[in-house]
Amino acid sequence: MPHVTGPSGLHYGLSHEPSHLTAHSPATLTLTIYNPTPEPIPLTPLTLTLPTTPHPQDTTLLTTTPETIEIDTHPHITVTRPHPTTFTLQPPTSNGTPALTLTPRQSHTIQLTNLTTAEPGTATLLLAETTTPTPDDQLHIRTATWPSGTIVTPLTLKKNPLSGDERADLTWKYLANPGIRYELTYNPQPDDEEYPEITVPHEELLLYSGEVDNNDGLTPIYYRTQTESGDVILTASPTPFVVTASLGGDTRTFWTNATVTSPHTHAYNLQANTTHLINNPPSDLPIGQYHTAKTDGFIIVDMDNAPWYAAVLTCSITSPGAKSPRQYTVTQHVQVPNAHAAIPVAAGNEIAITVSPSWFSPTVKWQELGGMSH
C-alpha cells in the first residue's frame, strides 16, 4: 500500500478496488488515516488534489474525468470542492479544539468513488494537512495503472538434458512496457538449505527475450535454468516458479509449479500445472495466531507502515508430517522503508507469524491463488 506520513504524525495509506487498477476502468480509492504512535492525534484538515498534468516522475494521471468522482467520509467532516480536482476536508471542532481524534493504532477511511482510470502508467495523488496548501505542504502518494489485456502468459516447463547436466526450459510471453519490470524467482531444491533461492532480475531476463509476436504484441522469454555439472535441477518436491511484474510500487504475481516424478535418474519427467494468475483480493492474516493454508498461496508482508522503527517478522511454515518448520524472516531497518516479502505456501501447511518488537504492526495478508490464466 503506497503511503506517506504527515507533519502531524498521522500515516496516510492509499488502497484501491480492484486490487490492481486497469486503464480506462472504474475504480474506488480508499485513503486510510492511521495513528501509528502511542499517543492520540487529532484529525487535521486535509486537501486532496488530483493533478491535471503528470508529475515529473509519472507517466499518466489518475483520471481525466475528475468531475465524476464522489467522496465518502465521516458525517461530521465538512467536505468542499473548490475545483473539480480538489477536495478539502474540515474535521469538526468544539470551542476551538479538534473534536475527532485517532487513538493509538486507530484508523479512519475516506473513499473516492466513481473514478475512471486514465492511461497506463504511474500517477500521483497530492495530500496536504491544511485547507490552503502550498507546494511545500503537499505529500505525494503514487499509484499504478496497468495496461488492459494480458501481462504475462501461462508459464510452461520442460526438461532438456545436455551433456549430463539436468536443466529445464521455462517459456512464457510478457507485455514489453517501459514502466513494467519483471523478475523470476525459484528454488531448485527447496528442501535443501545448501541450495538458496534463485532470483533472475529484469535486466538478465531481457537477455532471454525473443522477437515480439505480431499476433498478440507480446514478447517471448526462453529461459534455461542453470546448474553445475552433475547437479539435479529439481527435487521431488513441487517447486514454484514465480514471475513478478512491477509497475511503480504495485506488483502482480504469476506462478506455476513443477514436480519431478523420478528425481534420481536421467529418465525423469518435469510436469508443470496450469499457471495461476492471482486475481482474488488478499485477506488479513492476524499475527500471533496459527493458520492452516486451505489452498496454495502467498503470505504478503509489508513492513513499512512505520519506517522510523526497526522490526523483524518471522514466519514459520510447517508441512504435514514435518518435524520442524521452515522459517522466513523479513527485516526492516531504521529509516530504510519498503521491507516487503511474498512467501509461497502450499495447501495444508501450518503458518505461525510473530513480530519483534511485539507492538509493531506490519501489514500481513494471505493471497490465495486465484483464477487460472489462459
Pick the CATH number of 283-368 from 1.10.3720.10, 2.70.98.10, 1.10.268.10, 2.60.120.1300: 2.60.120.1300
Per-residue pLDDT, averaged over 92-107, amounts to: 86
Which residue do the cell numbers 493471497 mark?
Answer: 367
Domain ranges of the chain: 3-146, 156-277, 283-368
pLDDT in tens, 136-194: 888 998 899 999 989 998 877 665 443 334 556 778 899 998 899 999 987 766 666 66
Q: What is the rounded average pLDDT of the residues 309-337?
A: 79
What residue spans of 229-308 are helical by DSSP H? Answer: none
pLDDT at 104 > cutoff 80 = yes
More confident residue, 193 or 322: 322
Pick from 31, 48, 26: which is nearest to 118 by CA? 26
pLDDT at 370: 45
Q: Please state the rounded mean pLDDT for residues 18-36.
A: 90
Would you place residue 60 in the very low, low, confident or very high pLDDT band (cuts 50, 70, 90)?
very high
Q: Is 259 helix (H, G, I), strand (E, B) or coil?
A: strand
What is the per-residue pLDDT for 236? 43
Q: What is the pLDDT of residue 80?
A: 93
Note if the pTM is more than 0.75: no
* Beta carbons of 63 and 69 less than 8 angstroms apart: yes
Question: Do 156-277 and 283-368 show the same overall fold?
Answer: no
pLDDT at residue 17 tops 50: yes
pLDDT at 270 over 50: no
Identify which of 238, 231, 235, 237 has the alpha carbon closest to the alpha carbon of residue 263. Answer: 235
* 48 sits in which H/E element: strand 46-49
Residue 339: pLDDT band with limits 50, 70, 90: low
* Contact assessment for residue 301 and residue 345, using Cβ atoms and an 8 Å cutoff: no
Length of the chain: 374
**According to CATH, what is the number of the domain 156-277?**
2.60.40
* Percent of the chain surpassing pLDDT 90: 27
**Mean pLDDT to the nearest integer, 16-32:** 91
Q: Is the pLDDT of residue 117 over 90?
A: yes
CB 354 within 8 A of CB 327: no
CATH (residue range 3-146): 2.60.40
CA-to-CA distance for 353 and 34, rounded, in angstroms?
22
When pLDDT is cut at 50, 70 and 90, the band that residue 356 belongs to is confident
CA atoms within 13 A on the CB side of 372: 3
Which pLDDT score is estimated for 167?
59
